[in-house]
Amino acid sequence: MKAYLAALFVLLVAPSGSTQAGNLDGAWAMDASTCNDIFTKVNNKLAFKQNADLHAGGLIVQGKQITGTFQKCTVKSMHDDGQNVRMVAACSDGIAISDVTFDVKLSGENTITLSSKEPVPVETPYVRCSM
């Protein structure tokens, strides 16, 4: 379940109130107080710290690539209705590849809520880490 939530965390919020793929880049964490425990910069690029998986979930978004501590995803499609985005991403855990569908909702400045109905209903808030 943790890897599934990590895949969902990938989406970022545009400051205008619309969630767009071009504005999704950055580091996102389930808890802002853990940003420095999860993320670092190596050669001016975002990366996970060695023990990032021991802290609350986090994701790094770069274009259509979404990386969690246990999964890597590529966004296949997005439908933006202004306040919400329905996304489909192909995700790999190193063993298998599967499509994951989720919704991203703007819930405040630099905050989003990711939700999914499958395999079980889940709703998780995330904050953008300033890096």
Task: For the chain, give the mean pLDDT.
Answer: 79
Confidence of residue 74 (pLDDT cuts 50, 70, 90): very high
Q: Report how far apart, in Å, the C-alpha atoms of 42 and of each of 34, 82, 112, 128 are.
A: 18, 34, 26, 18
* Integer Cα distance of 59 and 28 in angstroms: 5
Residues 6 or more apart from 103 whose CB is under 8 A from it? 84, 85, 86, 87, 114, 115, 116
Confidence of residue 99 (pLDDT cuts 50, 70, 90): very high
Residues 6 or more apart from 98 whose CB is under 8 A from it? 90, 91
Q: Report the range out of 16-20, 34-38, 66-70, 104-108 with the highest average pLDDT.
A: 34-38
44 token code pair: 């001016």
Position with higher pLDDT, 20 vs 105: 105
The answer to whether residue 3 scores a pLDDT higher than 60 is no
pTM metric for this prediction: 0.75
